Amino acid sequence: MQNDASGQALPAVPPREQFKAMGVASLGGMLEYFEFIIFVFLAPQITAHFASPDMPEWLRLTQTFGIFAAGFLIRPIGGILMAQLGDLVGRKRIFTLTLALMAGPTLAIGMLPGYHEIGIWAPILLLVCRLLQGLSLGGELPGAISFVSEQVSGRRVTFALGILASSICLGSLAGSITVSALSAHLGSAAMAEYGWRIPFLIGGLFGLLSVYLRRFTHETPVFKAMKARLMLSERPPFATLLADHRFNLFAGMILAGTTTVVAAATQQFPITFFVTIKHLPMADIAAIQTLLIAFTMVGNILGGFLVSWRLLPMRVAYVGLQCLTIAGIFWAYGQDTVEGLVTPFMCLGLSGGAAMGLSLTFLARAFPAQVRYTGLATCYNVPIAILGGTALIVLTYLARFSEHYPAFYPAFFCVLSIGAALALWPRRHAISPFDQNDPDANPRTRQTPAPCSNTASIAVGQIH
């Protein structure tokens, strides 16, 4: 139970509503990474369908990946715009809107006519769909973190955010399995003709289902209380963020950027590195990467469990797990056999997944509730736009000089993230400004809500 300054208790969120919030948020997170994986895996089929047959093959593939990258580049714009609305009009409304804008274009990609039917309009329409996806995706995960953290009470917040993180990995795993199963069942000819559409149709339909389910959730009690007591921002939340929370914003970007680079180094690059450079069988490496993703999901939940049930302090857990992740990366990249990769990949999945899950809690507490959505969207989307498209290029470049060098890139970010997490800890905020008994908030950054009046409002960002 949370109390405001007048002693009035905010209504506790029933357990059923908490589970509902986690469920619908997890569906959106899963869809986001499902769509990411299937586009990459189906790039050859998409290229054949949407690119001009008169273009050289390398240029056709470059066009496809350029369209894919456009969705990443526009994410910061969409994320910041959507998140500011989320801080001003409500988490639930924007959280539902972002998923609708993601599900619609995903479904549309599965039904778009190809270059042979409509010519140059085919790649143009594909680009429009990707841009719409990018605009919505920028607000989806930050909205999920804000929504879940403000719906789930007390010490369960870290555990709930660990479950949310695991849904992201589940999306990658589901996308990989779907494409592999369809390819095996339909064959290459059928996949090139129509089979590539099926994963997009599945993703779009699941997205629309999730939009429908979000209608039955309620706005977070934290936002409703802030709105009732006139505590919402009088300035654009992004302006408040830059004026009052620059340090936390920069540290949060490091945490989010580390997640992006580590994911690239462990879930995307190994299929190229160990097959092309170390000449290991592709089927075996793909199977081991699937194993790593599965253990990452376990790690996401395990980290939240250890901290939520006070088996490990938050700072100790994060620092220790990132140190284990650094060791695991060097251990994995030093292997030359398939058998030698199994154990380090399992350990890397557990430690990296747990650290990733805990980073969501650091980020949720990095900003006060009035600008939380905007802060999270900026933290996530700027590093993704910069590092998401360049990490594989950097890793490939480092591998040219030595097969040992690629491990240093994610390890460097892990070290940076440890420093960022330790710097954020004294600046952490309560999830709710009305909760004066939050044991994980720093009393120095705790806000004291003033009594509501009809003539005054509380400016965002005032830290007492």
Q: What is the pLDDT of residues 425-434, one digit of tens each?
A: 999 998 988 8
Tens of pLDDT, residue by residue over 193-240, are: 999 999 999 999 988 888 888 888 888 999 999 988 888 888 899 999
pTM exceeds cut of 0.85: yes
295 touches 350 (CB < 8 A) = yes
pLDDT at site 8: 52
Is pLDDT at 11 greater than 80 in this prediction? no
The CA distance from 440 to 42, in Å, is 44
Query: Is the pLDDT score of 61 beyond 70?
Result: yes
Residue 463, pLDDT > 80, answer no
152 token code pair: 């789930």
Digit-coded pLDDT (tens) for 271-288: 878 988 898 998 888 889
Q: Where are the domains of the chain?
A: 2-445
Let me know: does 285 contact 270? Beta carbons within 8 Å: yes
- pLDDT at residue 102, rounded to an integer: 86
What is the mean predicted confidence (pLDDT) over 10-15? 74
Reported as a pLDDT band with limits 50, 70 and 90, residue 464 is very low
pLDDT level of residue 111 (50, 70, 90 thresholds)? very high
pLDDT score, position 362: 95
Average of per-residue pLDDT across 437-446: 68
Calculate the average pLDDT of the chain.
Answer: 86
Q: What Cα–Cα distance (Å) separates residue 415 from each residue in 226, 261, 409?
A: 37, 12, 10
State yes or no: pLDDT of 438 exceeds 80.
Answer: no
CATH classification for the domain delimited by 2-445, as one of 1.20.1250.20, 3.30.390.50, 2.40.110.10, 3.30.70.20? 1.20.1250.20
pLDDT tens digit sequence for 13-51: 788 888 888 888 888 888 877 887 788 778 888 888 998
Over residues 339-348, the mean pLDDT reads 96
**Mean of pLDDT values over 279-306:** 91
- Sorted by sequence, the CB contacts under 8 Å of residue 288 that are 6+ apart come out as 270, 338, 341, 342, 345
Instruction: Out of 67-71, 147-151, 290-294, 384-388, pick the least confident.
Output: 67-71
Report how far apart, in Å, the C-alpha atoms of 446 and of each of 5, 57, 91, 161, 193 are: 12, 58, 22, 22, 58
For residue 315, what pLDDT is reported? 94
